[in-house]
Amino acid sequence: MNELFDLRGKVAVVTGGGRGIGLMATTGLLRAGATVYIASRDLSSCREAADALSELGRVVALGHDLSSVEGCQSLAADVAQHEANLHILVNNSGAAWGAPIDDYPEKGWDKSMDLNAKAPFFLTQALLPLLTAGARPGDPSRVINVGSVDGLRVPRSSNFGYSASKAAIHHLTRVLAVELGPRGITVNAIAPGPFQSKMMEATLKEFEHALVAASPMGRIGQDDDIAGAVVYLSSRAGAFVNGAVIPVDGGLSLVPAL
Ligand SMILES: NC(=O)c1ccc[n+]([C@@H]2O[C@H](COP(=O)([O-])OP(=O)(O)OC[C@H]3O[C@@H](n4cnc5c(N)ncnc54)[C@H](OP(=O)(O)O)[C@@H]3O)[C@@H](O)[C@H]2O)c1
């Protein structure tokens, strides 16, 4: 059974892999045996995370701002300097912006859309040669997008650009699954509920009790919840799953938003 989830010999890129949900994904991939490239704007914090994770496996830190197409292309070129094949791409980097509708700024809309919806598309595009090279018959390369419960149901918080960007990445996942399946690449998304992270710090400080009370499972997410979903979608166990948006939320998206 372990062999079904074995990722030894696989190469992965996790954007924003140095902290929060990206770090949970990176840790899972390393524990399953993959080499993982983690990339975000702050190279020094990626290096710190890579040092801390190094006893689990090979981790390489790269510094790139993915909010522009050029940034996505420069990360892809950097990965291509190191590797001829890529097997797993986790598009995790993300940003949120909340403001009342009367004051919601263009800056917040663009920030959310650029990083949460546009970057996964253009990074996937830029990495297609490596992903195609990594695909094997019966063992496709994998793209895993990180969406959100806020893209599944209407949130109560005023995060208009964020929730729209997450619904967009869910649908882009389905569109790309059909486009890239014939090239030997699956495209899936996970839609997390609340997890501890820098992005969620203020929200959880105020609302964790209420979120836990509303959750059918009576808790927020934990590291292994992300690790398990990402390893499943990356491994032979998940090879026939394509175009799925998997809520990793304990069922929170099925109940009315707080
Ligand atoms: N935590 C939750 O409850 C939750 C729930 C649903 C969905 N999510 C999603 O999970 C993903 C990770 O979020 P998180 O909660 O772990 O938050 P986080 O701790 O704030 O992580 C965000 C990550 O994105 C990176 N990033 C931000 N701007 C970037 C840019 N311009 N270029 C490249 N990387 C950039 C950050 O690194 P740098 O600052 O170094 O660039 C960081 O690694 C996001 O897509 C988020 O929407 C989170």
Q: What is the pLDDT of residues 57-96, one digit of tens each?
A: 999 999 999 999 999 999 999 999 999 999 999 999 999 9
Q: Delineate the domains of the chain, giving CATH numbers in brackets.
A: 2-247 (3.40.50.720)
The pTM for the full model equals 0.98
Task: Answer for the pair 192, 226: CB distance below 8 angstroms, yes or no.
Answer: yes
Q: Maximum distance among all alpha carbons in the chain?
A: 54
Q: Is 162 labeled as catalytic in the residue annotation?
A: yes
Instruction: Going from the first residue of the chain to its last (258 residues), give the mean pLDDT of each consecutive group of 10, the final group possibly shorter.
Output: 95 98 98 98 98 98 98 98 98 97 98 98 99 97 98 94 98 98 98 97 95 97 98 98 98 91
Task: Answer for the pair 85, 9: CB distance below 8 angstroms, yes or no.
Answer: no
Q: Does the beta carbon of 121 lie inside 6 Å of ligand 1?
A: no
**pLDDT the model gives residue 257:** 84
**And the tokens for 143?**
């793209």
**And the tokens for 200?**
């969620």
**pLDDT the model gives residue 45:** 98
Q: Does the beta carbon of 20 lie inside 6 Å of ligand 1?
A: yes
**pLDDT the model gives residue 142:** 99
Q: How far is the CA of 232 from the centre of ligand 1 (A)?
A: 21
Handedness of CA 121, 126, 127, 129 (dihedral sign): positive
Q: How far is the CA of 62 from the centre of ligand 1 (A)?
A: 15
Other Cβ atoms within 10 Å of 8 Cβ, number: 10
Task: Answer for the pair 181, 10: CB distance below 8 angstroms, yes or no.
Answer: no
